[in-house]
Amino acid sequence: MIRWLDFNDTWLAAEWGHPSDNLGGILATADWLSRKAVAEGKPPLVMRDVLTAMIKAHEIQGCIALENSFNKVGLDHVVLVKVASTAVVSQLLGLKRDQTIAALSLAWVDGQSLRTYRHAPNTGSRKSWAAGDATSRAVRLALMAKLGEMDYPSVLTAKTWGFYDVSFKGHEFKFQRPYGSYVMENVLFKVSYPAEFHAQTAVEAAISVRAKLDGISRTADDIRSITIRTHEACLRIIDKRGPLANPADRDHCVQYMIAIPLLFGRLTAADYEDWIATDPRIDALRAKMECVEVPAFTRDYHDPEKRSIANSLRVELNDGTVIEETVEYPIGHRRRREEGLPLLVEKFKTNLRRRFAEDRQQRILDASRDRARLESMAVNEYVDLYAL
């Protein structure tokens, strides 16, 4: 219930993922603890506790992801949701240090999700609930540790049977920086388009190309070829040819996410559904596209000071006209915060309107946008604002 498709933040590094997924375990635990405290005549947790826990979870998941690629060994990034949620929920539950270590060892010793449900030929809807499964599992493991479940001290390093040897090709984890606030400060927000984040700048570029086509009275039918100049991660995850089986397959195909705005001037969640995807012009346009890596884009993607996600489109028309458009930083990037934050607030308002009456919308907005009020608000009272 915490995240679906375009309602999330994103972290891109050696490993990818959505640190806000941890909110599932954090908010559920904090709400339960608060209601239990109130029932016992004790003070509840406040939303500052939730926000602090979120910063910690972002740092744990994000800093491990900076230098350690789980996707390259076939594991899904939700392992980091499980580990980060386990650590932070353990603290919320008041576990002692040895109990927290036990809980974390249980998280690592778990069988980890294979990434196959994010890639052809198995792309499917599990990618929409895998993180919820991981953060809920974290709560269960923390509760088990609180009740005295034993730990596994060499779960990572044990020869033959530890995580490093079994699942990480014998490599130990590497760390670029200590935990602080780097991840939360640099996290990406999916503001404008429900697109896998490595394609966000490609979609922005495609929207711009569409506007230029309109300006010279041309359409997607006039396109001869499209060269997508991109970074290595985009090639590995979302460069897809051939049939796309379902919406989960389509929202992880950069060619599809470019074709839709070129044809229709938009990209919405509905555009991944079958009734849109059966339009023959989409696959015809996809067939004209080729992805190539630009080494400089890949370097800037991994540069901790830049963290760019560049895509460049070179569109050649049948009459020889060439249109080029490059976008280095998506609108949800830290370098575009001034531009992006007002749009993020509007997105919040739009989605509140989809669920709540006007007076409830305003109550949620008033509580959420006043930092001092939000931080001091009881968790259970804030959650109650969202109860229908």
Q: pLDDT digits over 126-169, tens only? A: 988 999 999 999 999 999 999 999 999 999 999 999 999 999 99
325-349 confidence digits (pLDDT tens): 999 999 999 999 999 999 999 999 9
Place of tokens 């970074």: 231
Q: Which one-letter DSSP state was computed for residue 147?
A: T
Whether the Cβ atoms of residue 233 and residue 307 lie closer than 8 Å to each other: no
Place of tokens 């009272």: 381
Whole-number pLDDT of residue 5: 64
Place of tokens 């989960």: 248
**Separation of alpha carbons 196 and 275, rounded Å:** 21
**Separation of alpha carbons 172 and 17, rounded Å:** 20
Neighbouring CB atoms inside 10 A of 298's CB total 18
54-88 confidence digits (pLDDT tens): 999 999 999 999 999 999 999 999 999 999 999 99
**Separation of alpha carbons 330 and 302, rounded Å:** 15
**Separation of alpha carbons 95 and 173, rounded Å:** 25
Q: Which one-letter DSSP state was computed for residue 251?
A: T
91-129 confidence digits (pLDDT tens): 999 999 999 999 999 999 999 999 999 988 999 989 889
Whether the Cβ atoms of residue 200 and residue 329 lie closer than 8 Å to each other: no
Run of H or E including 373? helix 371-376
pLDDT of 33 higher than 70: yes
Q: Is the pTM of this model over 0.75?
A: yes
pLDDT of 4 higher than 80: no
Whether the Cβ atoms of residue 155 and residue 149 lie closer than 8 Å to each other: no
pLDDT of 1 higher than 80: no
pLDDT of 188 higher than 70: yes
Whole-number pLDDT of residue 251: 93
List the 289-293 sheet strands across, edge first: 289-293, 223-230, 311-317, 322-327
Confidence of residue 287 (pLDDT cuts 50, 70, 90): very high
Whole-number pLDDT of residue 205: 98
Instruction: State whether residue 46 is helix, strand or coil.
Output: strand
Quick one: what percent of the chain has pLDDT higher than 70? 99
pLDDT of 6 higher than 90: no
Closest CA to 240 of 256, 229, 225: 256
Query: What is the pairing mode between strands 311-317 and 223-230?
Result: antiparallel
Whether the Cβ atoms of residue 310 and residue 318 lie closer than 8 Å to each other: no
Whether the Cβ atoms of residue 132 and residue 26 lie closer than 8 Å to each other: no
Query: What is the pairing mode between strands 311-317 and 188-189?
Result: unpaired
**Separation of alpha carbons 199 and 205, rounded Å:** 10
Q: Which one-letter DSSP state was computed for residue 75?
A: B
Whole-number pLDDT of residue 2: 75
**Separation of alpha carbons 183 and 130, rounded Å:** 22
Whole-number pLDDT of residue 89: 98
**Separation of alpha carbons 209 and 211, rounded Å:** 5
